[in-house]
Structures are given as structure tokens and as C-alpha cells.
Amino acid sequence: MESAEKYLKGLNDEQRQAVQLTEGAVRVIAGAGTGKTRALTSRYCYLIDTIGISPRNILCATFTNRAANEMKRRVREMLADMDLSYICTFHAFCVQFLKEEAHLFGFPKNFIIIDNDDDATQILLKVFEDMKLTLRNTTIQKTKDMIEMKKSLAINYVDNFYLLNNEQLRANFSASGDRDEEIFLRYLYEQKKCFGFDFNDLINFTLYLLQHDKKVLERWQNRMQYVLVDEFQDVSKRQYDIARLLSGRSGNLFIVGDPDQTIYTWRGSHFHLFLDFDKVYPEAKTVELGLNYRSTPEILKASNELIAHNPIRYPKQLHTENPSGPKPLYFHAKSEKEESDWIAGEIRRLQEAGAKLGEVAVLYRSHFLSRSLEECFIKKEIPYRIYSGIEFYNRKEIKDILAYLRMLTVADDLSFLRTVNLPSRKFGKKRIAALRDYANVHDVSLYEALKQNLDGELVHGTQVVAYVNAIEEVRADSIKLTMGDMMQELLDKSGYESFLRLQSDQERLDNVAELKRSVVAAGEEEEASLEDFLARAALFANIDKESREENVKLMTIHTSKGMEFPYVFICGLDEGVFPSKKTDTPEDMDEERRLAYVAMTRAVKRLYLSDSEGLSNDNIFKMPSRFIFDAGRENLEYVAELDKELVEKTRRAIDLDEENLSKRRAAFDVGDRVSHPVFGAGTILSVNAHEASYTVQFDSLKTERNLQFSAPLTPIA
């Protein structure tokens, strides 16, 4: 067919296979630079234009907004403009899902998405106040971690929204005898009052409904006839469960990614889900994309040898038909300053050879490593840009304006508290406390409570009447205004933009101007709504605009994921820095090595590696990273040979660390049957990697036992 060949042209045999295997479960192992995005995009277009599937029946779940936007751009280049709303992140899909289904929890479709930073802090400050807790009792961050842990361990908390009204929720937390449990239940109560979902909730509530409501599951299974998951190695177990449930009727689940690039286990990703896919789907077809289009053979050879040191992985070797280039260059410096000076010197040499500064990226494990580089680059007048800074939608002034806009839609308590006294309207803590008391008694929102008291003593001597008038006037005008005009009118009548101008902070004003552009552009979309824009804004990641000036890019390796650069420097390759000193399990070390692999495979033409001597932040003498040695001496060009004594000392330290780590690698998984010489047969209940211990329930004992990994356990077939 002509349409088929259109999407297969220029693809290699493996990519073609990935496109044409449209039915059933398909796993694509796509190494770095092997053209997986092209294959995925071609498959999506093939399903629509060749097979005839509607884009409304295809979910293509991506890991980042950047990836979703890039795929949409490529699809639009191949097909006519159409609804591509189901090319999105898992979180964005869940927003769309819950807009249709949130009424089952008693939530409106224009629910708010709670920001895990500011919004959650405001909720917890109120909870602390209500419980008469102080920061001496616990910290906000520790409490956030506790809440996230509770939500990540089990989703039965959703029952509190699904089954209980506000009065029942109040009774629950009042009856709780445990402080953390009471905090958690109060947090849920405040969430429900303002109709708010946080990022964990978006996933958990979606999964809950798919698992517990057959009608909802059937409706969405009928809609999602094809489920495609990009960067599958980064998905969490619950995201995987959503994909499995949605594809449960059709059986059409397509996953693509690279287990060797799993670097987000701290976010809940599990590369084992990728490796064990064929166990869950015995009929699954596996396609391996091994032809690298990005890097030179020399870069790939060092990268392949590095990652081969990980014992648990899908065995693959990247290869390329690209022309040969120089071996990766390694420099061992006597100090951090010397390391930075060397990097700066090599960048200048690249410039002299015709390279552009915008083609150069310097990658590091942690943010603190940029200090020496920045000082050096400033001194040597090398323009640079840090790409791991504060995200646009996390900047204070942007959050302020989004809260104002939310007052036009939901008028939730969090948005109210953020805006009512910004700029100052002399409505302080005591008045807020009194307003809360009134709102609790009358079971209304804070904003509604304020509206009901505009003639009372509560607002005397304040300017909150003007605040309410501004919101109500803009809300009344919203029918006839564009989204851009609505925002401008709100900024004018609230006095917020004037407030910013009085501060003479041009950077903040520039950010506001950029937000205006974004709102105007969103308003020009078909069937655009303010609610949709606010939901999208809450999900946006850091997608900064490129500077017009040619500059060197400085970023963490995590930030560089999915990117490529002609010239890549990886600095700070010191034991205790990269791999991190926090690496205390074999699994952690495997992930650190995968992170190094990701960094090395970002390079197209040249790869530079460096470390430095001196004392670490812990006053420990620094030694070259094991990843330098893992890449293979024969695969690297050394600027100067390492001192033999330093090499011997480093290898002894690494060998000792590897020996200690090996004792912490689990030999059994949860559910395995084992035998103990004293206790007899038993079942592994849990595995604690950080404590190097199992919890085992033995058949002969009433209670479980905690045993070290070194305990004399043997498997039972």
C-alpha cells in the first residue's frame, strides 16, 4: 500500500518490524540513538493512515511533556492536523480521564491540581495550626515525605474520597490516635474541601477506578484500542497497571525503551517490568533496535563495555555505521580548578576547529559541581547556560498569576490564601483565622465566606472588597473576553501587575509577559477553556526557550536524558561523587552505572571524561571513578597516564567496596520459597535492600523472622 510505504521509507528492518507488528503485545528494546522516536511516530501514523484507526482510540503515553510535544510535532509533519490529545504523559492522560470520571468521587470536572510545593505547604500549615503542631514537632518536608509514602504504599486511601463525606472524614481524623495518621487524614480532608488532586492522586485515582468500577473500565477499554508506552523503563508499577488495564480487552500493548537507561528508580520506575514483560505476556513479540545513528564506533565501544558490568540487564550491543572518530579523551586533574581549566581549554580548541559553543554540553552528577565550572567560564569569558534551574511554571510570579486565574474557575482555598493578600490588603493571619472559623461552621469555601462577610467587621479597614470586586467583575466579563484579555483585566483590576512593576524586577516582569503569550496562544486553540489551560500549566515540566546567544550547556545527567550533543564533557568522575557516596546497595550501583551510560551516549562526535584530586566535601581524598576503569583502558585516550600508586590505591578501594556491595545483593525475591537449616521451609515476605535483609515467614513459626542476606537460605524448587 502506498500509505504504508510512506511511513516505512527510510526505516531499517527492525524499525519496520516495530511499525508493522500492530496487534498484540510488542516489546521494543531500543538502545540509545537507535531511532526509537522515529519508529514510534511512524507506528502511530501507520495505525491511523494505513490501518484506519482513529487517534481518539490510540493512547501514546510518554514520560515527559518534551517527548509528547516532539512526537506531536513529528506526527503533524506526516499527517493532517487532528486531535492528538492522547499523545501525552501518563499524568496528562489521567487529567483527561478524571475530567470525565471525577464526579464519581463527588469532584467537579474543573478540579484543581495541587502543586506539590506551595499548595501542599499551605495545606500542611493549616493542618499544623489546627493540630497545634510546630516545626519543632516535625518539618513540612518530612510530613510531605510521609504523605507521599502513605500514598505510594497503598491506594486504599482513595476510599476516603470515594466513600466518605466531609463529616465522616472529620470524624476519622478526630478519632485517630496516631499523629502521622491524623495529619494524613486531615490532609485528605483539606484536599477534598478544595476539590484537589495532587500528582500522586492523578495516577492513584485513575488506577482505583479502573480496578474497582467495571463500567468505567469497559468504557475506557473500548476507547483505547491501542496503547503505546514510550520510555517504558521509566514508568512506575502503577502506570504500567493503568496501561495493562486499558489494553486488557484489545491486547494491544506496545512498549518501547531501553532498560540500560533506567535512571529513575527513586521515582518508582522498575526496569524489571521491561525485562519480565515476556513473562507477563508469553505471546509477546520482542524487537531489538541495535543500530545507533548518533555516535561514533569509539564512543559506543566504551559505552558498551561500561554497561556490560551490570549483572542484571537485557544483553545487547549497540553498533553503528557512522564513520570512525577519536577515542573518548580522559583527563585526570590535580584540582577542581585544573579540571575546569582543562575543560575550558578543550572548548576553546573546539571553537578554533570550527565547532559552535551551542554544540557543547558539560554534564555532571550533582548541581554543586557547576560552581568551579561557572567561576572558570566567567573568568575566561565562555558564555554558558545552566539547564537545571527553576522551571518556568514553578517561578513565584507565575504561580501567583495561575492562582488568580484559578479564582475565576474554582475559587479554591489554596488559591484564595495565595492571592487574597497579594498585593497587601491588610487581611492578616487573625482575620484569616476568623474567616476559617466561619467557613468551617457554615461548610463553605474561604472565598464564599469572605463574600458573605463583606459588610461585616471582619473586613473593616482592609481592601479585600476591591479584591472580591475584581474577581467577580472579570468573571462576569469572561463570556465576552478572550483568555488573554481575561488575564490582563485580572492583572489590572487586582493590582498584581502594578505591584510587580513597583518592585522594578525586570526578570519577573519578563516572565509575566511570557505567560501572557502562553495564555493568548492557548486561547486561540479550538474549544479552548481556562480550565484546560490551568490543568496543562500544572503539568508542564521545564521546557525553557533556547537562548539566541551561542553558549555552552551545563546540566545534570538526569536533565540530559533524551538529548544529544556533538561534544559532551562529563566532569566530576570521582569515587563518592559519581558514583554517589549515597550508593549503598548493588542495585543503587547498577543505577549509577546506567546513569554514566546515559551520559556517555549523549555524545555524537567527541566525548571527554575528567576527574580531579583533592578533598571531597567529606574531607576524603578523591580517587578516579570506577566508571573510568569500567569503560576499558584500551577504549580511552588518556591525556597522561595515571600514577601507578594512585591506580593501585583506587582499585583496592573499589574492590573492597564491590565486595561489601555484593554482600547486600538479594538472592531471592518476594514470594520465593526457601529452606533454613534450623527453621525449615518458609516464604520470603519482603526484601529490604538498604538493610540487606529478608522478612521470612517460616511454616514452623507463628511470627515472621528478619534475616540477613548472608543467612543460610537455599531455594525450594
Query: What is the Cα–Cα distance from 122 to 334, expressed in whole angstroms?
Result: 48
Q: How many residues does the chain have?
A: 717
Q: Is 192 a catalytic residue?
A: no
Half-sphere exposure of 680 (CA within 13 A, CB side): 4
Q: What does the radius of gyration of the chain's CA atoms come to, in whole angstroms? A: 28
Among candidate residues 49, 198, 230, 336, the one labeled active-site is: 230
**Triad 350, 557, 622: Cα angle to 5°:** 85
Query: What is the Cα–Cα distance from 384 to 683, expressed in whole angstroms?
Result: 56
Q: 3-state SS string over 643-668?
A: CHHHHHHHHHHHHHHHHHHHCCCCCC
- Sort strands 565-570 and 384-386 into parallel, antiparallel or unpaired: unpaired
Half-sphere exposure of 41 (CA within 13 A, CB side): 20
Q: Is 708 a catalytic residue?
A: no
Q: Is 36 a catalytic residue?
A: yes
Among candidate residues 15, 37, 89, 559, the one labeled active-site is: 37
Query: What is the Cα–Cα distance from 28 to 560, expressed in whole angstroms?
Result: 22
Among candidate residues 418, 493, 594, 602, the one labeled active-site is: 602
Q: Is 231 a catalytic residue?
A: yes
Contact 122, 112 (CB under 8 A): no
What DSSP line would sit under 662-704, residue for residue?
HTTS-S--TT-EEEETTTEEEEEEEEETTTTEEEEEETT-SS-
Other beta carbons within 10 angstroms of residue 260's beta carbon come to: 28
CA distances from 434 to 126, 131, 296, 456 (A): 13, 16, 68, 12
Q: 564: buried, middle or exposed (CB in 10 Å: 19+, 13-18, 0-12)? A: middle
Among candidate residues 15, 62, 233, 261, the one labeled active-site is: 261
Query: What is the Cα–Cα distance from 402 to 118, expressed in whole angstroms?
Result: 12
Query: What is the Cα–Cα distance from 623 to 612, expressed in whole angstroms?
Result: 8
The SS3 assignment for 323 reads coil
CA distances from 604 to 98, 561, 566 (A): 42, 14, 4
Among candidate residues 101, 115, 201, 231, the one labeled active-site is: 231
Other beta carbons within 10 angstroms of residue 135's beta carbon come to: 11
Query: What is the Cα–Cα distance from 406 to 546, expressed in whole angstroms?
Result: 29
What DSSP line would sit under 140-168, residue for residue?
HHHHHHHHHHHHHH-SGGGHHHHT--HHH
Cα(first)–Cα(last) distance of the chain, in Å?
Answer: 52
Quick one: cell of 83?
Answer: 486531535
Half-sphere exposure of 491 (CA within 13 A, CB side): 22
Query: What is the Cα–Cα distance from 114 to 417, expressed in whole angstroms?
Result: 13
Q: Is 230 a catalytic residue?
A: yes
Locate the DSSP E strands across 522-672: 552-556, 565-570, 603-612, 637-638
Q: Is 548 a catalytic residue?
A: no
Residue recorded with cell 578523591 = 622
φ and ψ at residue 570, rounded to 5 degrees: -115, 110
The residues annotated with a catalytic role in the active site are 36-37, 230-231, 261, 602
